[in-house]
Structure 1
Amino acid sequence: MNNFLPTTKKEIASLGWDRPDIIIISGDTYLDSPYNGAALIGRLLQSEGYKTAIIAQPEMDTNDITRLGEPKLFWGVTAGCVDSMVANYTASKKPRRNDDFTPGGENSRRPDRALIAYTNLIRKHFKNTSPIVIAGIEASLRRLTHYDFWSDKLRRSVLFDSKADCLIYGMGEKAILELAKGTEYKDIKGLCYISSEVPTGYVELPPHDECVRDKDVFTKMFHTFYKNNDYITAEGLAQKQDTRFLVQNPPQEDPARVELNSYHELPYTYEIHPYYAAQGHVKAMDTIRNSVTTHRGCYGECNFCAIAVHQGTRIIERTEASVEKEVLRFIDKKGWNGIINDIGGPTANMYGMECRKKKDQGRCADKRCMYPSICPSLSVDHRFTNSLLSRIRKLDGIKRVFIASGIRYDLIMADKKFGPQYLENLVRFYVSGQLKIAPEHCDQEVLDMMGKPSEKVLKDFVNAYYNENKKQGKKQFLTYYMIAAHPGCEMHHMENLKRFASKELKINPEQVQIFTPLPSTYSALMYYTGKDPFTGRDVFVERDSTARKRQKDALVTSSDRRPGKATAAPKKSHRPKPKARPKTKCCAVRKKR
């Protein structure tokens, strides 16, 4: 067991520790993999000589939180890989029965508003304890005044509500190391703390109370918050929350490639700690096992997505050699089956692509990289991902390499030089029966609200994909992810999407989700205010849960086709309809920490 971070008193004793320097509390079970943010941070602290332990999903009604004692330096608290309210409730606000990150799969171990719950649990059992640091995606998205869908109101910073000592936002590696070394809060980038005054040179945001009273004020505040997420151009922010201020230091610099390499080359076991494995099967491990993260960040900036606020809009990739080194670890493990389940990132085909201007001068304040069309300054070049995939595929011991991460098909179509080769290789080597893409919608009014490319690009890609399959004599299909009830979407828009899916895609959509407003996203801002934040015009918002479900049902039900029937190729490709539904692979775990 000592190959893992310790999680029991017996392990602590076997290591000869009197007590840990740092104890990490996580809302996910302990998967010892770089896919798990708590494991990555724990391994990184361990590599720097800190005695780091972890308690995953502590019981709320016992003294389980006390089993390792009190840390010398600080507690690190994360809700897990997703916001706890997203993990616990559906878009209709009904409790989720299952949790892929919990042994046994029953969703009974992660408390609502986990950062607040865990911090209170620590303080209940340890009076005047070591500092408590909250981090992870729940902390990132809730670090300032934010709209909370589940209470349908603006909430103040989770740092105030949790009464933790400080909050680390973003990916957090550099900030947590500085904190462990004893650097003062005010001097650590990527960290938020509470102060009685606004630091010199920081931008003061509208106070929380004013945001609650006036939606236009909240919109103004959000714009300022959003544009100050790039470490090159961002300023420090401060917002009055009661009689004190939430102070957000500027973001940390992104890691260099060699640093990102080192994070993924730490001595992970790629297994579930035996203490938790004994409690039941963890479904997420089926997806995570033998999967590799090649890069972080996404410059797509879809309005409903939280990646831009948490991971950033800049692509930071690992070297080919580092990715190969991780794959070789899989090959050397007992039980290796020869298959890489996934190789990618938030968006698989952004590896090696970035705007030179953004890398040097920071993110543009007045435009986006991919909406309404791909910026000419963005270097759309699939050579690097083609090279990486080829290198991994040709390793001894590799039978198949699959891409289960999402791809941006508009990038493929925009790359006239190397996009066709990427598509050819994708079809030939890296698709397991079906390829998933996420057009989300087809109606231009709704696509504009989402910040997604036009339906013409989708049609062009679908035809190119099936033509490539025909050329190679393959029968592989597409799975389309759609969203219902996004701000700006009315029933007639869903009817338009239904007709488009039937006429152009020849499918009855299966993968349809009702829109969930994630904290600190532009789509959540639209949902709350009922306005387009970029134009100020009114936007229709469907808030009734029954009507939201009707939008979804309008797309997934059909009188002449059985729901769940196989996805067929468009008629233009002259492909016969499949006799049976192709097998699909579970790929539910998003690349977020």
Structure 2
Amino acid sequence: MKEFLPISQEDINARGWEQIDFLFISGDAYVDHPSFGPAVICRVLEAQGYKVALLCQPDWRKLKNFEVLGKPRLAVLISGGNLDSMLCHYTAAKKPRKKDAYTPGGEMGKRPDHATVVYAQQIKRLWPEMPVIIGGIEASLRRFAHFDYWENKILPSILVESNADLLIYGMGEKQIVEIADYLAGGAIIEDIHYVRGTAYLADDLQALDEFIELPSLEDILKDREAFAKAYNLQSKELDPFSGKIVVQKNGKKFVVQNQVPFPLSQEEMDAIYDLDYVRTYHPSYEKYGGVPAIEEVQFSVISCRGCFGSCSFCAIHSHQGRIIQTRSHESIIREAKKITELPNFKGYIHDVGGPTANFRHPSCAKQLKVGVCRDRQCLFPKPCPNLDTDHSDYIALLQKVRALSGIKKVFVRSGIRYDYLLADKNDRFLDELCRYHVSGQLKVAPEHVAEHALANMGKPGKSVYLKFMRAFNKKNQEIGLKQFLVPYFISSHPGCTLRDAVELSEFLRDIGHQPEQVQDFIPTPGSASTAMYYSGINPETGKKVFVARNPHDKAMQRALMQYKNPKNRQLVKEALQQTNRGDLIGDDAKCLLKISSSHNPKARHSKIAFNPKINKRR
């Protein structure tokens, strides 16, 4: 019978352990599933023979709560959780969220703001000599001086604030095993400054031969443009083959980032995902209604890591890298079979994918030998001539999974790059996708339609999306299915003006789509878009960009995407007046703001009452 990892002293005693080797403190509840970073790291350590216990969401206000599982022999490992704790707590409008999907029952308030920092500081107070190693998405993307949107200021490296001894950036499996073995062999944490995929603080740079130095924290605080420069320099060194050590002065200390770890081989990926996960949340959470985050991933399979799409607003390439790493078909089939044995499985695999589902191999043949191009993207501004667009491996994988006994349908929900799909020489993947892997609606992310807004996002132009729309609709007509595209758009991204937002609303009108939910841009740590937001400069081009920072300006852009909503009427009117688009106010079919409806409450009520199902379906 599969066992959960220990989360209490009783669990530790039941295993006959006198002392654990590693204590893992997590800002999330314990979900033993390969989509949850703490579970993966702890299972990897367990597979190497180490004794690991998890302390999940401790009450950080009392020091004694951190010693309930005893003092570990080797180190304390800390992660704020699967999301940055500030993003987990606050919306784009900086309002508290109502639900934390990574907490039992969705309850808020079970982790502090800046959870990684707070946990690390408490451990250093409790056990000053204990090695503290921080990792996870929060630590990874805050490893240098960074902009915190919710505090609206530049913060120093999370290493400085947390007083941690070592930071693991990226996914971390290779690094944690190497570090664990060094510690177990008697090395002291202060000497473990040579592991790829880690960062540490140094008093000086005398031990380094070759490195790239970023503008310092002090430089950035004085000059916003220095922040864009720092991001651009750092981003150029994210390749494991050509990247150099990167340093940045933060106060009296230097943050030193070692080179990026090499991609996992397929055998290494398989070994990680073949570990004996229970695949659900710990049973102690059942009385609270479980952990909501499991619902999205319990019946999904991760087939790949990394992304060469390099959207400006996404930091996946900074965390997982641009080189695609994949699992074998055999490993994925084994996991799919395990899913069919789960008691609540209904026959539907929700996803077989990753950051981008249809990236199943490196973008070109050279990447596993010499790395990615330093000054060129694979898909933007247009697909590289050397791009390998062959979808045959992914098609074969999906065919094998859907042929398994007990599986009714396999969906692809983690998102596809339609520009990459269109670059393929034939439409076989589109055919397979529409026939077998769409649930009536396919979610895609054009993000915007205004050309210079898209340029700052690193996304393909409107014409590419329209081409995909036509291809998708034509294919569904051929196979006799009625399926729809559900496009996602972002409002107020750097470079997007109010006129651009009006252009987007006209596009939504023309395609007959009214989004139920709108994503307002959130400047999360570690992305190029965040560098744009803070500095007003595109770090790649050095050109100035417009940034909507005023909450009212952002509200108008957001309202334009849902111009039919009566609650947005005044904001839409103001936006159209400011952009001199009075032609879009009136009774003509092209108008976004209808005059007759506003003067005839009965007509307005009748129209809204008549269309709720249509609006909901869209």
- Is the TM-score greater than 0.5? yes
Corresponding position of 2:148: 148
Corresponding position of 1:85: 86
CA contact (8 A) 1:494 1:554 kept: yes
In 2 relative to 1, CA 561–216 (structure 1 residues): closer, same or farther, beyond 3 Å? closer
| Mapped pair 1:306 → 2:315 | yes
| Partner AA of 1:162 in structure 2 | S
2 CA distance for matches of 1:493 and 1:390?
42
CA contact (8 A) 1:179 1:185 kept: yes
1 CA distance for matches of 2:452 and 2:431?
32
* Secondary structure, aligned partner of 2:179: helix
Corresponding position of 1:109: 110
* Secondary structure, aligned partner of 1:356: coil
Q: How does 1:241-390 map to 2 (within 5 A)?
A: 241-390=250-399
CA contact (8 A) 2:505 2:563 kept: no
2 CA distance for matches of 1:471 and 1:222?
47
CA contact (8 A) 1:70 1:129 kept: no
Corresponding position of 1:159: 159
Q: Deviations over 1:139-173 (max 9, x none)?
A: 11110111221222221100000111110001111
Q: Which of these residues, 556, 564, 578, is aligned with residue 558 of structure 1?
A: 564
Corresponding position of 1:540: 546
What is the deviation of 1:509? 2.4
Corresponding position of 2:11: 11
| Partner AA of 1:277 in structure 2 | E
Mind listing any 5+ residue stretches in structure 2 that lack a counterpart? 570-610
Corresponding position of 1:220: 229
2 CA distance for matches of 1:153 and 1:74?
32
Corresponding position of 1:438: 445
Q: Choose between structure 1 and 2 for higher RCO, CA contacts under 8 A separated by at least 6 residues.
A: 1
Segment of structure 1 superposing worse, 357-366 or 399-408: 357-366
2 CA distance for matches of 1:225 and 1:162?
22
Segment of structure 1 superposing worse, 194-203 or 395-404: 194-203
1 CA distance for matches of 2:58 and 2:565?
48
Q: How does 1:66-215 map to 2 (within 5 A)?
A: 66-124=67-125, 126-182=126-182, 184-198=191-205, 199-215=208-224
CA contact (8 A) 1:44 1:263 kept: yes
Q: Which of these residues, 444, 457, 464, is aligned with residue 457 of structure 1?
A: 464
| Partner AA of 1:123 in structure 2 | K
CA contact (8 A) 2:44 2:272 kept: yes
Corresponding position of 1:397: 406
CA contact (8 A) 1:352 1:385 kept: no
| Partner AA of 1:212 in structure 2 | L
* Secondary structure, aligned partner of 1:77: strand
Superposition TM-score, scaled by structure 1 size: 0.92
| Partner AA of 1:210 in structure 2 | D
| Partner AA of 1:195 in structure 2 | A
Mind listing any 5+ residue stretches in structure 1 that lack a counterpart? 564-577, 586-593
1 CA distance for matches of 2:566 and 2:255?
56
What is the deviation of 1:582? 10
1 CA distance for matches of 2:290 and 2:36?
17
2 CA distance for matches of 1:421 and 1:243?
58
What is the deviation of 1:263? 0.4
Segment of structure 1 superposing worse, 331-340 or 291-300: 331-340
2 CA distance for matches of 1:29 and 1:193?
28
* Secondary structure, aligned partner of 1:298: coil
> Which is higher, the Rg of structure 1 or of structure 2?
2
1 CA distance for matches of 2:556 and 2:470?
30
Q: Percent identity?
A: 39
Q: How does 1:472-511 map to 2 (within 5 A)?
A: 472-503=479-510, 505-511=511-517
1 CA distance for matches of 2:476 and 2:567?
25
* Secondary structure, aligned partner of 1:181: helix
In 2 relative to 1, CA 382–582 (structure 1 residues): closer, same or farther, beyond 3 Å? farther
2 CA distance for matches of 1:168 and 1:415?
37
CA contact (8 A) 1:434 1:582 kept: no
Corresponding position of 2:527: 521
CA contact (8 A) 1:433 1:583 kept: no
* Secondary structure, aligned partner of 1:38: helix
Segment of structure 1 superposing worse, 447-456 or 465-474: 465-474
What is the deviation of 1:223? 1.4
What is the deviation of 1:332? 2.5
What is the deviation of 1:422? 1.1
| Partner AA of 1:543 in structure 2 | R
2 CA distance for matches of 1:204 and 1:487?
27
In 2 relative to 1, CA 69–180 (structure 1 residues): closer, same or farther, beyond 3 Å? same
* Secondary structure, aligned partner of 2:248: strand
Corresponding position of 2:476: 469
| Partner AA of 1:227 in structure 2 | K
| Partner AA of 1:546 in structure 2 | H
CA contact (8 A) 1:433 1:582 kept: no
After superposition, the CA RMSD in angstroms is 2.1
* Secondary structure, aligned partner of 1:327: helix
2 CA distance for matches of 1:583 and 1:290?
26
What is the deviation of 1:473? 2.0
CA contact (8 A) 2:325 2:362 kept: no
1 CA distance for matches of 2:515 and 2:344?
37
| Mapped pair 1:57 → 2:63 | no
* Secondary structure, aligned partner of 2:366: helix
What is the deviation of 1:353? 4.5
| Partner AA of 2:488 in structure 1 | Y
2 CA distance for matches of 1:216 and 1:540?
14
2 CA distance for matches of 1:71 and 1:39?
18
* Secondary structure, aligned partner of 1:463: helix
Superposition TM-score, scaled by structure 2 size: 0.89
2 CA distance for matches of 1:506 and 1:197?
60
Q: Deviations over 1:344-384 (max 9, x none)?
A: 00011111342112222112111100100011111011111
Q: How does 1:229-248 map to 2 (within 5 A)?
A: 229-248=238-257
What is the deviation of 1:561? 13
* Secondary structure, aligned partner of 1:261: helix
| Partner AA of 1:168 in structure 2 | I
* Secondary structure, aligned partner of 2:105: coil
In 2 relative to 1, CA 559–265 (structure 1 residues): closer, same or farther, beyond 3 Å? closer
